[in-house]
Structure 1
Amino acid sequence: MTALLDRKEFVSLLCFWRSRPGVSFSVGVSGVIAEFHAPGDEPVAWHVAEGIMTGTCPGGSIEIVPTDRILSIPYDIAGRNRGYLFCLEEETARMACHRVLRHAGSRGHATLFDIGAGATTVDALIIVDAPSLLLTLTRAEGERLVGTHHPALAGIVEAGPSRLFRSRLAEITVTGPIATSVTPEGPHTHLLADLIDGSTHDNRIPVPAGWLPCLTLHIPVADPAFPGGSAP
């Protein structure tokens, strides 16, 4: 059942589910999403330090930052899609929502660019350390890329930089190449302009007014523990 969790309860719930077979996480909205799960039979290495939960596997990582007042909503859509939405109050959950390419700081020696997807609850960033791509994106800053044929998009796909999709609860880093046809196993991202419609979640899941999903936990349909586990 829907529950308002504090930090400790949220971590307890995640610790139960995170290592169960087939479980995955995602951040994003329709058309703009990053997914985190280990490829094949590879394990995810989980670590908790200073209140932050980190999972790593070949191809990427996830960092979850617990907070208080997280609305946990278990869902089951027609017996084929089940899991939890973890929501924050709307004023907290909203991200930058840029609609043009923007410089977004740095990470280590790399430069971050917000691709300008305009998503309500997730910023879609690319991590740029190649000088040629950095020059291309610097020249294109302030221009609309998503849903266009801007040449900078081809440069991004060709260079295949790491991507960082972040919400107020979690961020997923994907280091594998950008898929242009078949979705790869393991961590990956999707940026599909035709599916960006302003929605933050499947409308078959009843999210109360004033709350927005910031992290999704996906659970295999066959897992008998859902929706129980160690949920408070």
Structure 2
Amino acid sequence: MSRIDRLPPASPCVARCVIDETSQLCTGCARSLDEIAGWGSASDDFRSAVWAELPARASRLGLKTRRLSWQGDTLLAETARRLSDEGARLIAGIWGASGELVRLPDAPCEVQIGEDALTLTLPDAALRLDSARYLTAFEIDRPDAPALIALAVPVGRAFRDRPAALTALGQDEAALLSRNAGGMRFDLGLGRRAARFTVRCDDALAATLARATGTNWPDHLSRTGLPLRDASPVRVIETPCLRLEIDAAIPMPDGTSPSGPHTHLLPDHIAQGLDTPPTVPMPAGYVATALILPAS
């Protein structure tokens, strides 16, 4: 059991505190005023009992986004369980710049849950998810599709260092995949709070990118786009609490994405400034670190 799982049950609050006049329940967390007022001094058994009632209450209120009670090892185990299904996907990044971890049929998959971290390794992708105390899980309904899980952190835990130009980060000493482990890593300079899109290079590509460092996104693509596509380096997407590595060929601009793990880098989408797709609204005050979609 991790140190996080020894904490009391988390508060269901999502900082959207509006009471429904009919039910007298909060339209953010689905608790009553008495439950909200007494939460700080309530016993763990009482808190757990309230959590057990919240899904039914949220359904009656018509809430599309519901906070889940997962913490620590429970959060890691639930994530691993969902990703063990063939065809399930984890998407990390922002709208237009993301990596997708997809487990194909018969693909070997190694899962390890250690001290406050989940590591999942496929032949061409690897994930490390750290279960920090502030990592929060939400279930979000989607029109005409099964609900997804969003792993999120408070806005105050989002990235503050946001390079807006191609930036050399030095040697990658935290590599999960073996290709070019320890090689030079570059941040493509998206300048976003929710994710960093980086690449780990061999010496030849590193030399090419080094000559374009300091050039703003997306201007440097005129010099780096073709070399990046041709080399298909390991893409390393980092979000608060998560690192995802993808080692799959980058398709031609008019090609189709691989059915297995792959990345997207779409300047027109990135320019919209969205952290998540328009159909996945996050509660105010939270930034998504990953989306988990069930197998279709």
Alpha-carbon distance in 2 for matches of 1:162, 1:147: 21
Alpha-carbon distance in 2 for matches of 1:111, 1:198: 28
Task: Check if 1:194 corresponds to 2:268.
Answer: yes
Give the match's secondary structure for 1:22.
coil
Unaligned runs of 5+ in 1: 222-232
Alpha-carbon distance in 2 for matches of 1:50, 1:208: 29
- How far has the Cα of 1:95 moved from its partner? 5.4
Equivalent position of 1:120 in the other structure:
193
Give the match's secondary structure for 2:211.
helix
Task: Check if 1:176 corresponds to 2:251.
Answer: no
2:218 to 117, 142, 146: 146
Paired residue type of 1:124: F
Alpha-carbon distance in 2 for matches of 1:147, 1:68: 38
Task: Check if 1:88 corresponds to 2:120.
Answer: no
Structure 1 window deviating more from structure 2 (28-37 vs 45-54): it is: 45-54
- How far has the Cα of 1:80 moved from its partner? 2.1
Contact 2:212 2:223 (8 Å CA) reproduced: no
Deviations 1:152-178 (A, max 9, x none): 221111121111011112111111111
Cα RMSD, aligned residues only = 2.0
Contact 2:68 2:139 (8 Å CA) reproduced: no
Q: 1:35 to 1:208 in 2, by over 3 A?
A: same
Give the match's secondary structure for 1:150.
helix
Q: 1:102 to 1:55 in 2, by over 3 A?
A: same
Alpha-carbon distance in 1 for matches of 2:182, 2:85: 35
Contact 2:76 2:113 (8 Å CA) reproduced: no
Alpha-carbon distance in 1 for matches of 2:208, 2:106: 38
Alpha-carbon distance in 2 for matches of 1:198, 1:144: 16
Paired residue type of 1:183: S
- How far has the Cα of 1:76 moved from its partner? 2.3
Alpha-carbon distance in 1 for matches of 2:200, 2:152: 27
Contact 1:38 1:58 (8 Å CA) reproduced: no
Percent of aligned pairs sharing the same letter: 20
Contact 1:40 1:186 (8 Å CA) reproduced: no
Give the match's secondary structure for 2:152.
strand
Equivalent position of 2:14 in the other structure:
none
Equivalent position of 2:285 in the other structure:
210
Computing the radius of gyration over CA atoms, which structure comes out larger, 1 or 2?
A: 2
The normalised TM-score by structure 1 is 0.86
Give the match's secondary structure for 2:86.
coil
Paired residue type of 1:127: R
Higher helix share: 2
- How far has the Cα of 1:32 moved from its partner? 0.6
Alpha-carbon distance in 2 for matches of 1:202, 1:41: 30
Equivalent position of 1:3 in the other structure:
68
List aligned pairs for 1:16-95, cutoff 5 A: 16-80=81-145, 82-94=147-159
Alpha-carbon distance in 2 for matches of 1:116, 1:164: 13
Which structure has more RCO (C-alpha within 8 Å, separation ≥ 6)? 1
Alpha-carbon distance in 2 for matches of 1:172, 1:83: 19
Contact 1:5 1:69 (8 Å CA) reproduced: no
- How far has the Cα of 1:15 moved from its partner? 3.5
Higher strand share: 1
Q: 1:84 to 1:172 in 2, by over 3 A?
A: same
Give the match's secondary structure for 1:103.
strand
2:294 to 210, 214, 219: 219
Contact 1:120 1:198 (8 Å CA) reproduced: no
Paired residue type of 2:82: W
